[in-house]
Structure 1
Amino acid sequence: MDYMKLKEYWISEEEKSFKGWDFSYISKRKLEEPLPWNYDNIVRQYLKSNSILLDMGTGGGEYLLTLNHPYNNTFVTEAYPPNFELCKRKLTPLGIDVRQVFDDSCLPFENNMFDVIINKHESFDIKEVYRLLKPTGLFITQQVGGLNNKELSRFLINDFEEVISSEHNLENNLMLIQNQGLTILKSEECFPKLKFFDIGALVYFARVIEWEFPNFSVDSCFEKLCQLQSIIEQQGYIESEEHRFIIVAQKPKK
């Protein structure tokens, strides 16, 4: 095995650009175990055509647009500057209200404004979510838990320090949401497996998910990547454990 050629290839993967929240480039080079729930089905179960909708952390609006929700009833937030610019180009001309937001505790919307707030893998302040929801309004969130890919991160990164706390789990979030006064309609948690079939795909993934792999680079992690390459040669893949949970909560009538 020529590891110098492999290193050149891995560095080329490290330097690939990434837009929106679209992992199609490596979709055939990794495999995620299906979740026991379907986020899209849950959202569509509760979303009505006349609902005033907020999508928190919309990325590039990829998922939002699949809902075909009336654009004049649709609002989105996004913090990451390249994605925000993408949303302005793609969503604003449609009539969707796009806001750049950096502070979860201060969202630029009126009290009791939304029938449904959806949030897929985005941070949130439940006090602010409560303020924005209409009475009987719904908050639907699927979260990446604090244990996501943690063993792989610890293996790859020397002196690994977690950015997202391991305490970010279903139990603690249910407590926060219920303490704010919302009623839980659905909740579930799981730890699906994620397989990578080549190290280049892992390199691309780790560079994008920088909060899970802080200070990752091919140069600094080269020896560990070579060890993982040996595992792929033996068994055809490397495996990581993800962490997901979903909550549907409702604001009371009054």
Structure 2
Amino acid sequence: MSSGNESASDERASSERISNERTFDKRTFDELVAEAEQVSVEGWDFSWLDGRATEQRPSWGYQRLLGERMAQVNSALDLQTGGGEVLAGLPKLAPLTVATESWPPNVAKATALLHPLGVAVVVDADEPPLPFGDNAFDLVSSRHPVTTWWAEIARVLRPGGSYFSQQVGPASVFELVEYFLGPLPAEVKQARDPERARREAEAVGLEMVDLRFEKLRTEFLDIGAVIYFLRKVIWMVPGFTVDQYRDRLRELDQQLRQDGPFVATTTRFLIEARKPAGN
């Protein structure tokens, strides 16, 4: 699985990892469950899953592209920064760089990681209004935001400024979600449509610069990887606990041992929108 730090070499190697990291953990179901329940899920670094799950990366290389944009602006805001891993991995930050985060464990991690780099971390509920004035930033970015508040983004962008984001697309990893929740309605599967994002951005006066979409392959090799993923990405199976889904987890453990990796489809889209210079 990808961590917050996406180097270009990591992106090129993603397909190779999918074929080369299939080393199923032979420990018992109870041993794998106990380990996955205890490991920390703070931050937005998925390196614990190395060798236990794989995820193809989008071809565009979000962190590299963000770094190019960051080097050209004087002020930047990173929304829902997680543990700050993406910003910390950039070669250069804007002279004024601010990050927001709502989840307390991530706030602490981002503060420790980003403060030495001169980045202010602001605790924010991820709901409007953003705690900044109008026309405050040349660049607003966000990697995998839970919600995109387009009107607020347009408000805090300076005229000529841009919003740049990689987002989770529709029905991402829904093979795993539906394994636990059952079939989901079409409107749920169609949420996070990149074309809807385009319409919402344009509705608040932003101009579309770039919009790209890709479907990618994700594999879970053992039940511990599944549990860790669902504990960390809490909106996938809301309220997930091992106790609630133990029987289903045990069935999936047997499936993994007999049939090999559980394969799911990850969807991602890249969006860049600009606030007109005259606004």
Structure 1: give runs of 5+ residues left out of the alignment: none
Match of 1:134 in 2: 158
**1:76 partner amino acid:** A
Over residues 41-65 of structure 1, what are the superposed CA-to-partner deviations in whole Å (9 max), with x where a residue is unaligned?
3213323354311111111111101
Match of 1:65 in 2: 88
Q: Decide whether aligned partners of structure 1 residues 201 and 159 sit closer, same or farther in structure 2, where only a CA change above 3 A counts.
A: same
Aligned partners of 1:157 and 1:215 also within 8 Å: no
Q: Give, in whole Å, the separation in 2 of the partners of 1:203 and 1:166.
A: 25
Offset at 1:250? 0.7
Residue 218 of structure 2: SS of its match in structure 1?
strand
Kept in 2, the 8 Å contact 1:194–1:239? The answer is: yes
The alpha-carbon deviation at position 85 of structure 1 amounts to 2.0
- Whether 2:213 is the aligned partner of 1:189: answer yes
Displacement after TM superposition at 1:109 (Å): 1.2
Q: Is the 8 A contact 2:136 2:157 kept in 1?
A: yes
Per the alignment, in what secondary structure is the counterpart of residue 192 of structure 1?
Answer: strand
1:97 Cα deviation from its structure 2 partner:
1.5
* Overall identity of the aligned pairs, in %: 31
Match 1:217 to one of 241, 266, 272: 241
Which amino acid in the other structure matches residue 29 of structure 2? Answer: L
1:140 Cα deviation (Å)? 0.4
In 2: Cα distance, 1:62 partner to 1:43 partner: 13
Match of 2:277 in 1: 253
Residue matched to 2:24: none
Which letter does structure 1 place at the counterpart of 2:231? R
User: Which residue of structure 2 lines up, in the alignment, with residue 38 of structure 1?
Assistant: 61
Q: Secondary structure at the match of 1:187?
A: strand
Q: Which residue of 2 aligns with 1:87?
A: 110
Compute the displacement of 1:222 (Å): 2.4
| TM-fit CA distance, 1:216 | 2.1
Matched, 1:14 2:42: no
**1:31 offset after TM fit, Å?**
0.9
Per-residue deviation, 1:161: 9.1
2:207 maps to 1:204: no
Structure 1 window deviating more from structure 2 (67-76 vs 183-192): it is 67-76
**Cα distance in structure 1, aligned partners of 2:195 and 2:228:** 32
Counterpart secondary structure, 2:176: helix
Asked if 2 retains the 8 angstrom alpha-carbon contact of 1:104 and 1:128, the reply is no
Structure 1 residues 244 and 142, CA gap change in structure 2 (3 angstroms): same
Question: Equivalent residue for 1:167?
Answer: 191
Match of 2:250 in 1: 226
Name the aligned partner's letter for residue 6 of structure 1: F
- Residue 219 (structure 1) shift: 2.6
Between 224-233 and 132-141, report the one with greater CA deviation. Answer: 224-233
2:248 is paired with a residue of what secondary structure?
helix
CA distance in 1, matches of 2:240, 2:126: 26
Q: Which segment is superposed worse, 226-235 or 76-85?
A: 226-235
CA distance in 1, matches of 2:189, 2:98: 29
Kept in 2: contact 1:71–1:95 (CA 8 A) = no
Provide the TM-score with structure 1 as the length reference. Answer: 0.89
> How many Å apart are 1:91 and its aligned residue?
2.3
Using the alignment, how far apart are the partners of 2:256 and 2:269 within structure 1? 29
C-alpha offsets along residues 104-123 of structure 1, whole Å, 9 cap, x if unaligned?
A: 32111121111111110112
Of residues 191-200 and 48-57 in structure 1, the stretch that sits farther from structure 2 once superposed is 48-57
CA positional deviation for 1:246: 1.2
Would you say how many aligned residue pairs link Structure 1 and Structure 2? 252
2:23 is matched with none
Counterpart residue type for residue 124 of structure 1 = T
TM-score, normalising length: structure 2: 0.82
Q: Cα deviation per residue 1:173-220 (whole Å; 9 max; x = unaligned)?
A: 100001111111110112212101111111111111121012322232
**Alignment partner for residue 203 of structure 2, among 167, 179, 196?**
179
Look up the equivalent residue of 2:32 and give its one-letter code.
Y
Q: Residue 74 of structure 2 aligns with which residue?
A: 51
SS at 1:171 equivalent: helix
Deviations 1:6-59 (A, max 9, x none): 124313312211221111111221111231321123213323354311111111
